[in-house]
Amino acid sequence: MNKNPIIPFLLIIFLGIGLVFLLSGLGATDDGEEDVATEEGTEESGGGEEASSGDVDAEGIARDNCASCHGQDFSGAMGPALAGTSLDEEGFTSIVRDGQGSMPAFSADQIADEELTALYQFFSEQ
């Protein structure tokens, strides 16, 4: 009646490790598919507000670059609120390009001028 406690322990460990690899592989695949679908939808629509800012997905750029500090809804978090910004476009561009306080500077290689203009319009409309 002596049961070996190592066998269930090892079984749980191996199943857990296998589950982590399985889920991480599935997660990586899902993200790529969503991005492609979003890009295709943007290109096919070709109208609405995005026509004024070209083919730039300002909301996507904001989610990728701004939301971690300025909040998921851009109403402020570690950084100040961006939604309904009271800055003019020149001031907004200056802060993004040069940084301010704990805000890092973003070069034209990181965020293109066209994307920066689209971001300003996106935040101004919120």
Beta bridge partners of 103: 100
Is the domain spanning 54-126 CATH 3.30.360.10? The answer is no
103 is in an annotated binding site: yes
pTM score, two decimals? 0.54
For tokens 């301010």, what's the residue? Answer: 100
Q: pLDDT for 35-88, tens place per residue?
A: 444 444 444 434 444 344 457 888 888 888 888 888 888 888 888 888 887 788
pLDDT at position 13: 92
Q: pLDDT for 82-96, tens place per residue?
A: 888 778 889 888 989
29 is in an annotated binding site: no
101 is in an annotated binding site: no
Q: Residues 74, 81: contact at Cβ < 8 Å?
A: yes
Domain boundary assignment for the chain: 1-45, 54-126
pLDDT at position 85: 76
Helix, strand, coil shares of the chain, percent, nearest 5, are: 65, 0, 35
